[in-house]
């Protein structure tokens, strides 16, 4: 991994450190008066700028910076294309701080050339629950790379977190830094096969034809749990309490999870639902400006919410393709089911069956809404459906990091049946070209 001049100075586990014996902070928290009061110096010609994402012009500036300069795959074929609605949703959860949306501008013309953002959260790592910030969207304009601006941005957002009394953080990156707490792999379920072949996201293997590939990936048009009064419908405001309860209980299965409140659930699962109403029972098409898609299953006899699942939209720009500008990608978000709490359900396969019913419907909904591909990571209970649903192993890894918190490594990729390579190639018998290296919202839950 070479030398890390910056990371060697930070309170993170260093390479080669022995796994910690117990969990805890690396550096003690400081009282506010001991936190550095003035911003870190920037190179001459640049200035700090707190970004007000409620101002549509500033939101657009961030959107434009990221659209042209954010994460690309290794072959420079795809680049994340966050929409303004997405950024508004992802960066303004309940309790967010304007000061944690840190920008750098050129002093002379005020052009936004770098950005980093934090949002507050409550995190549970094993049995410890603490306030943390989730850091994301670190971006330096392509023309200003390799000038050590990134460490200054990181130090400044850290200072801003310290000023609010937050001394721990979580973040993900495609690059390997000191030192991941876990690593996950992306998996992809092809939906619009001809387009994905056209743009080079995937290809037709030698012993396969396009027609056969389309047939193999074809999905039904109506979600199964919407038939026979089985209770599938979009989540609504009135479901918040029950979804929170289901989420909280289900997440007990995992070792690293965001702890949510009612307002978090409302924000994460409803506020990005977009404009307008889709009539009940209509599965085709999408709402204007919709970022997150959340569905619940309501037991028609008891009116209890027994399950939920969600996914969000994050298109990627297709770089240099004449036919297509973007690839529409759905990312699996959170899900939970009551079945997990009925005794013996895991052992006798009922949990697996139920998860498959839910995710199968998520795929159908995404397909009907015109998504090209459905992504997920090797975390939560995703190993229960990757193979059956023809998810293909991607070539992108996502490393998870904790700042100023020590804990033994958590299972990530290994959670998938021990041999992701074999299983992955078995699933699809084809290689997927998709090194999407960072998740827009973090989903960090491991067994
Ligand atoms: C208590 C609260 C704490 C809050 C803070 C918690 C920590 C948060 C940490 C941030 C979490 C971010 C989560 C995300 O958003 S991950 C997404 C990152 N963004 C992109 O990949 C977009 C495209 N790339 C760029 O914009 C630039 O290449 C970036 C900005 C990434 C680096 O710019 P540049 O290429 O011009 O480099 P430099 O000369 O300025 O600086 C070089 C130094 O920077 C270290 N580096 C490079 N990439 C990353 C990276 N992704 N995370 C952490 N460190 C990174 C690198 O190892 C080296 O340090 P060292 O190896 O010498 O030591």
- 4-19 pLDDT, tens per residue? 999 999 999 998 888 8
Atom in ligand 1 nearest the alpha carbon of residue 116: 15
CATH of domain 183-403: 3.40.630.30
| Mean pLDDT lowest among 39-53, 62-76, 151-165 | 62-76
| Mean pLDDT lowest among 34-48, 71-85, 375-389 | 71-85
Q: What mean pLDDT do residues 46-73 have?
A: 94
Cis peptide before 179 (omega within 30 of 0): yes
Pocket (CB within 6 angstroms of ligand 1): 4-7, 69-71, 133, 135-140, 145-151, 154, 157-158, 161, 166-169, 171, 173, 175, 177, 403-404, 438
- 84-91 vs 56-69: helix crossing angle, rounded to 10: 110
Torsion angles phi and psi, residue 49, rounded to 5: -150, 115
Residue for token digits 């009612």? 262
Between the CA of 151 and the centroid of ligand 1 the distance, in Å, is 7
pTM: 0.92
The rounded distance, in Å, linking the Cα atoms of 158 and 133 is 9
Between the CA of 127 and the centroid of ligand 1 the distance, in Å, is 29
Q: Do domains 2-176 and 183-403 have the same CATH topology?
A: yes
Whether residue 311 has pLDDT greater than 90: yes
Atom in ligand 1 nearest the alpha carbon of residue 152: 40
Between the CA of 116 and the centroid of ligand 1 the distance, in Å, is 9
Residue nearest (by alpha carbon) to ligand 1 atom 41: 148
The rounded distance, in Å, linking the Cα atoms of 260 and 369 is 28
Confidence at residue 412, expressed as pLDDT on a 0 to 100 scale: 62
Parse the chain into domains and list their residue ranges: 2-176, 183-403
How far is C-alpha 189 from the chain's CA centre? 16
Whether residue 339 has pLDDT greater than 90: yes
Residue nearest (by alpha carbon) to ligand 1 atom 38: 148
Residue 212's SS3 state is helix
pLDDT in tens, 78-91: 888 888 999 999 99
Burial class (CB in 10 A: 0-12, 13-18, 19+), 364: buried
Confidence at residue 71, expressed as pLDDT on a 0 to 100 scale: 83
Between the CA of 48 and the centroid of ligand 1 the distance, in Å, is 17
Between the CA of 167 and the centroid of ligand 1 the distance, in Å, is 19
Confidence at residue 55, expressed as pLDDT on a 0 to 100 scale: 96
Percentage of the chain beyond pLDDT 70 is: 91
Average pLDDT, the chain: 88
Q: What mean pLDDT do residues 61-82 have?
A: 87
Higher pLDDT, 75 or 435: 75
ipTM field: 0.99
pLDDT in tens, 270-305: 998 887 777 777 777 777 789 999 999 999 999 999
Closest to 438 measured CA to CA, from 172, 166, 252? 172
H-helix or E-strand spanning residue 151 = helix 149-163
The rounded distance, in Å, linking the Cα atoms of 356 and 389 is 8
**What is the token pair recorded at 287?**
């709402």
Whether residue 432 has pLDDT greater than 60: no
Residue nearest (by alpha carbon) to ligand 1 atom 5: 158
Between the CA of 141 and the centroid of ligand 1 the distance, in Å, is 12
Higher pLDDT, 181 or 246: 246
Confidence of residue 345 (pLDDT cuts 50, 70, 90): very high
Task: Give the largest CA-CA distance in the chain.
Answer: 67
CATH of domain 2-176: 3.40.630.30
The rounded distance, in Å, linking the Cα atoms of 157 and 266 is 27
Whether residue 439 has pLDDT greater than 50: no
CB 353 within 8 A of CB 337: no
Torsion angles phi and psi, residue 16, rounded to 5: 85, -10
Closest to 351 measured CA to CA, from 360, 340, 362, 359? 340
The rounded distance, in Å, linking the Cα atoms of 180 and 175 is 10
Q: What mean pLDDT do residues 108-125 have?
A: 97
């Amino acid at each position: 991994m070479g030398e890390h001049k910056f990371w060697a100075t930070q309170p993170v586990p260093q390479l080669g450190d022995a796994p910690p014996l117990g969990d805890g902070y690396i550096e003690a928290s400081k009282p506010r008066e001991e936190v550095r009061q003035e911003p870190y110096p920037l190179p001459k010609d640049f200035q700090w700028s707190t970004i007000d994402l409620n101002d549509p012009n500033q939101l657009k500036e961030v959107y434009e910076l990221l659209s042209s300069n954010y994460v690309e795959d290794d072959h420079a074929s795809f680049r994340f294309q966050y929409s303004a609605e997405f950024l508004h949703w992802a960066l303004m959860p309940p309790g967010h701080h304007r000061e944690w949306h840190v920008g750098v501008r050129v002093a002379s013309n005020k052009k936004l050339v770098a950005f980093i953002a934090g949002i507050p959260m409550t995190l549970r790592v094993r049995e410890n629950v603490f306030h943390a910030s989730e850091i994301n969207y670190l971006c330096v304009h392509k023309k200003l790379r390799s000038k050590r601006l990134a460490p200054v941005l990181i130090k400044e957002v850290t200072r801003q977190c310290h000023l609010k009394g937050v001394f721990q953080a979580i973040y993900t990156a495609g690059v390997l830094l000191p030192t991941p707490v876990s690593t996950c792999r992306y998996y992809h379920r092809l939906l619009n096969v001809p387009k994905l072949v056209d743009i080079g996201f995937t290809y037709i293997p030698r012993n396969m034809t396009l027609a056969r590939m389309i047939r193999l990936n074809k999905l039904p048009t109506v979600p199964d749990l919407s038939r026979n009064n089985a209770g599938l419908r979009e989540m609504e405001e009135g479901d918040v309490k029950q979804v929170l309860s289901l989420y909280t209980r289900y997440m007990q299965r995992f070792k690293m999870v965001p702890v949510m409140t009612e307002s978090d659930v409302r924000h994460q699962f409803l506020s990005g639902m977009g404009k307008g109403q889709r009539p009940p029972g209509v599965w085709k098409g999408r709402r204007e400006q919709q970022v997150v898609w959340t569905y619940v299953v309501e037991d028609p006899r008891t009116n209890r919410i027994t399950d939920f699942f969600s996914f969000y939209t994050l298109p990627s720009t297709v770089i240099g393709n004449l036919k297509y500008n973007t690839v529409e990608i759905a990312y699996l978000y959170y899900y939970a089911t009551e079945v997990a709490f009925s005794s013996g359900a895991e052992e006798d396969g009922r949990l697996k069956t139920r998860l498959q019913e839910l995710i199968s419907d998520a795929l159908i909904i995404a397909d009907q809404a015109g998504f090209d591909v459905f992504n997920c990571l090797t975390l939560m209970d995703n190993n229960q459906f990757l193979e059956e649903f023809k998810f293909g192993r991607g070539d992108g890894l996502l490393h998870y990091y904790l700042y100023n918190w020590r804990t033994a490594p958590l299972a990530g990729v290994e959670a998938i049946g021990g041999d992701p390579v074999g299983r992955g190639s078995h699933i699809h018998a084809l290689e997927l070209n998709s090194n999407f290296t960072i998740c827009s919202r973090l989903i960090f839950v491991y067994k």
